[in-house]
Structure 1
C-alpha cells in the first residue's frame, strides 16, 4: 500500500518532528508525499523550520475535526495548508525579508533552474494548478510538485506567489 499523506507532530516522544520531515524529504521516492504538521507549537520560528524542512501544511491541534478534514483533503489535492493564525504570524515576519533577498541572490539564482523547472515556473505564473500543468506537459502531478519544491528550494521561497515574485524580480519570467 502506498503512502498518500504523512501527519507529523513536532514533539515526538522518540525524536524530533522537524528531523523526521527532513528525513522523509531526503528519500527520493517520498519527495511528492504531502506532509502535514498537526501541533500545538505556534511560534513563527518553529513553524518556519517545519516548512523549510519540507512540510506542506501546518495546522494547530486546537482546530476542530471539520477543519482538519478540510486541511487533509486540500493537501491530497495538491494544496498547501497553513492555519490562518500561523499565516498571519509568518506574514508579519516575512514581508521585510522578501524585499531584500531576491536582489542579493539574483546572479546565483538565474543559472540554477533547469529548463523544465523554468517551464513549470512560467506555467505557475500563468495561474495553472499542479494538475493543469501535469496535463499540459503530460507528466504526473507528483512530478510537477517535485519540480515546484525544487524551484522553491532554489529560489529560497516557500510559496508559488513568492517564487513568481522572485523570478520576476531577477528577470527569469516577465
Structure 2
C-alpha cells in the first residue's frame, strides 16, 4: 500500500485521511481528487494501490467509480469512506467491487487500524457495518428490503456456483478472515496457487472482492 488516491470533496476530510493513511502505512504517498472526473483522470494517469472513495461527490456518487475502476484499473483496491452507512449503500459498494467500507465518524485510531489490516490481506470494514452485514447474511433474503434491492436480477441463474473442493477450502478460509499468505501456509500451497484459486472463485461467483465472494457464497448456501 504505497500509492493512495483520496477521493473526497471536503479538504479537511482529505487532510484527515492523508494523516491516517500515513500512520497506517508510513511509506504511503497520497494524491487527492475532489470529484469523479478528477479521480478518473488521476487513476488513469497514475499507478495507485488503493483508492479511498467518498460516496457523495459534486458530480455523482463515488459508487459509480467502482465499475469504472474494475474495467480500467482492476489492480487498484477501493475502500469506501463515507458518512453514509445504510444497508443498501454498503451492499452496493461491496457488490460493486469495494474491498472495504469505513465510516467517517470512526476515530482516527479505528480508521488507522482498519487500513493497516490491508497490509495483512484483511478487508477494512467498520465494526458496526460488519455486524449488520453478518445479520443480513444470516437473515432470509426474502422480505429484507436492502437485500431485495441489491439482489441479482431474477433472470440470472439461481443454480449454485460449482466450486471445486479446493476452491471451497480456500473460500472457507477467506470467510474466516485469513490472508492469501495465511491460506497458502494452511493448505501447503504457493501464494500464486491461492491467488489463482481466488480468481476462479471470483469468476464463478461473479464478484470482484473477498467480501463479495463470502456474501454470494452464503447466499447460495455454499458457506454456513
Fold conserved between structures, TM > 0.5: yes
Question: 1:131 is matched with which residue: 181, 185, 195?
Answer: 181
Aligned pairs, how many?
158
Say which one has the larger Rg: 2
In structure 2, the residue matched to 1:109 is: 160
Whether 1:9 aligns to 2:85 is: no
Query: 1:18: Cα distance to partner?
Result: 0.9
In structure 1, the residue matched to 2:221 is: 166
Aligned counterparts of 2:181 and 2:55: Cα–Cα separation in 1: 30
Cα 1:152–1:34 change in 2 (3 A) is farther
Structure 2: gaps of 5 or more residues = 1-45, 143-150
Question: 1:62 is matched with which residue: 92, 100, 105?
Answer: 105
| Structure richer in helix, relative to its length | 1
Query: 1:148: Cα distance to partner?
Result: 4.5
CA RMSD of aligned residues (A): 3.6
Map 1:63-78 onto structure 2 (within 5 A): 63-78=106-121
SS of alignment partner, residue 82 of structure 1 = coil
Query: 1:9: Cα distance to partner?
Result: 0.4
Whether 1:153 aligns to 2:209 is: no
Aligned counterparts of 1:35 and 1:144: Cα–Cα separation in 2: 21
Aligned counterparts of 1:145 and 1:38: Cα–Cα separation in 2: 25
Structure 1: gaps of 5 or more residues = 170-174
